[in-house]
Amino acid sequence: MLETEELRKVYKGTAAVDSVNLFLEKGESVGLLGPNGAGKSTTISMIASLIAPSAGDVRLNGKSVLKHPNEIRKVLGIVPQEIALYPELTAYENLKFFGRIYGLKGEALSRRVQEVLELLGLEDRQKDLVKTYSGGMKRRINIGAALLHEPEILIMDEPTVGIDPQSRSYILDTVRKLNEEKGMTVLYTSHYMEEVERLCDRVYIMDHGKVIASGTKDELKSILSGEEAILVEMDRDYPELVKELDADEAILQTIETDKGLKLIVPKGSRLLGKIFQAAERHGAQISNITVQVPTLEDVFLHLTGRKLRD
């Protein structure tokens, strides 16, 4: 239904997006995952025909978006990373304003505004000025603005960055509902692996402007089918312990996490005894050890050598 062909954008001699080929089938929920600066926002701005590519094209049902930009604008709802609302207007007034931009009027406009407020759980606060809203509520209205014209395709640019857990959960549930119940095609951009794991059928992983891997979640995880992760929770950081484990050839990767360490090891390797002994030598208190099957985060790390949130 929607595809990009060798899409490219160059800023001052550097490619922000480099020969990117994506496709979305109707009704799919696809994740575009990558760290800050990977080129996700630039890619979706070109898909939405908000910025012009340096090379390549986007096709909607086979038709060039470069040649027919209005066609994609009709069927696409795009939720930008930045909140684009009028703080001095109420949520209701904001949505009415955006609805008019999409060409809605009269009864149809009022009905859609109410439906969207209900979908986002904000009917009770609709008469309050947006400036009195929490960050999470503003984000919900921002999403609502993109849904007024009942788009077939919804593209979201990191819609849950920096918001409260309740709004985050509400947004994720809403996106899932739109995809599963209404059949809306979704392209969901994020650097939160858990969100993409929860919402998306298929994933593209981007880094430095390029797609470095793509496939279903299981296909991507099978890249690491011979490996597992050992999570070691400790009372504090032990740099000398990290150094020792890092130097151990039986351990493929040693990653420092919020709670301690994550060690990527070949599947079935019996390293727990060794880890406990090393911890003891360095006086580290281990509060918990878990063995985990690989996550998409591990796949990303494996492909790039870096953590997603670096």
Ligand X SMILES: Nc1ncnc2c1ncn2[C@@H]1O[C@H](COP(=O)(O)OP(=O)(O)OP(=O)(O)O)[C@@H](O)[C@H]1O
Residues at the interface with ligand X (CB under 6 A): 11, 16, 34, 36-42, 158
Tokens 């492909």 locate to 303
Nearest distance from C-beta of residue 188 to ligand X, angstroms: 13
Tokens of 145: 């603005």
Nearest distance from C-beta of residue 122 to ligand X, angstroms: 26
Fill in the amino acid letter for 280: E
Nearest distance from C-beta of residue 240 to ligand X, angstroms: 34
Q: Give 206's contacts (C-beta < 8 A, 6+ positions apart).
A: 20, 32, 33, 34, 38, 39, 40, 43, 212
Whole-number Å distance between alpha carbons of 19 and 33: 16
What 3-state class would DSSP assign to 276? helix
Contact, 183 vs 191, CB < 8 A? no
Query: 186 or 245, CB closer to ligand X?
Result: 186
Query: 11 or 86, CB closer to ligand X?
Result: 11
Tokens of 238: 């032990």
Nearest distance from C-beta of residue 159 to ligand X, angstroms: 12
Query: 16 or 48, CB closer to ligand X?
Result: 16
Query: 38 or 85, CB closer to ligand X?
Result: 38
Tokens of 176: 């899932």
Nearest distance from C-beta of residue 38 to ligand X, angstroms: 4
Nearest distance from C-beta of residue 28 to ligand X, angstroms: 21
Query: 42 or 160, CB closer to ligand X?
Result: 42
Hey, what's the torsion of the CAs at 157, 158, 160, 161, to 10 degrees?
-130
Whole-number Å distance between alpha carbons of 310 and 307: 6
Query: 210 or 217, CB closer to ligand X?
Result: 210
